[in-house]
Structure 1
Amino acid sequence: MSQTFTAAEVAKHKDEKEGFYVIIDGNVYDVTNFLDEHPGGAKILKRVAGRDASKQFWKYHGGNVLEKYGGKLKVGTVAETAKL
């Protein structure tokens, strides 16, 4: 089931207790159970957990990676915030 998160809610998911969430292009992914499978290692995912990792993600990955893994890891989207 897909949820809507605020950036602050995602920011809480950056440790073993709360799990590890990342934001990529406005979508929220739970990478907690993917840490050991990540070819680049768990350390890199833990480093970006709780925040927007879009820039880092696209630097090293193509769209096929989200096609392959995104469906099973996506837990929601980030709510739009007002821009002043």
Structure 2
Amino acid sequence: MSKTFTKADVATHKDEAAGMYIMIDDGVYDITNFIEEHPGGAKILKRVAGKDASKQFWKYHGKPVLEKYGAKLRVGTVAETAKL
């Protein structure tokens, strides 16, 4: 079962103590244990932790990367927010 997160929820997960989450499109991914494995280095992931990383992700990665790693890292989805 997938959990639903608000953007504010994800923003609280920006360091290793709280767990590091990122948003890619409507998905929320726990990258805490992936940081040291990331081919581009840990620094780039630490910079986007707790944020929407969609733009940065799609700039450097294709759909096959998300298909390969997404299933094991995905912890939920981003909740729809009302726009007034």
Task: Identify the TM-score tier after normalising by the shorter chain.
Answer: over 0.9
List aligned pairs for 1:4-83, cutoff 5 A. Answer: 4-83=4-83
Aligned partners of 1:22, 1:5: CA distance in 2, in Å?
11
Aligned partners of 1:14, 1:46: CA distance in 2, in Å?
8
User: Any unmatched runs of 5+ in structure 1?
Assistant: none
Give the AA of the match of 2:23.
Answer: I
TM-score with structure 1 setting the length: 0.97
TM-score with structure 2 setting the length: 0.97
> For 1:44-82, what per-residue CA distance to the aligned partner results, in whole angstroms no more than 9, with x for missing partners?
001000010000000000000011000000000010001
Give the AA of the match of 1:77.
Answer: T
Paired positions, count? 84
User: Any unmatched runs of 5+ in structure 2?
Assistant: none
> For 1:3-55, what per-residue CA distance to the aligned partner results, in whole angstroms no more than 9, with x for missing partners?
00000000000012101100000100000000011000011001000010000
Aligned partners of 2:72, 2:52: CA distance in 1, in Å?
19
Give the AA of the match of 1:41.
Answer: G
State the Cα RMSD in Å: 0.7
What percent identity do the matched residue pairs reach? 77
Aligned partners of 1:32, 1:17: CA distance in 2, in Å?
9
Q: Runs of at least 4 residues of structure 1 off by over 3 A?
A: none
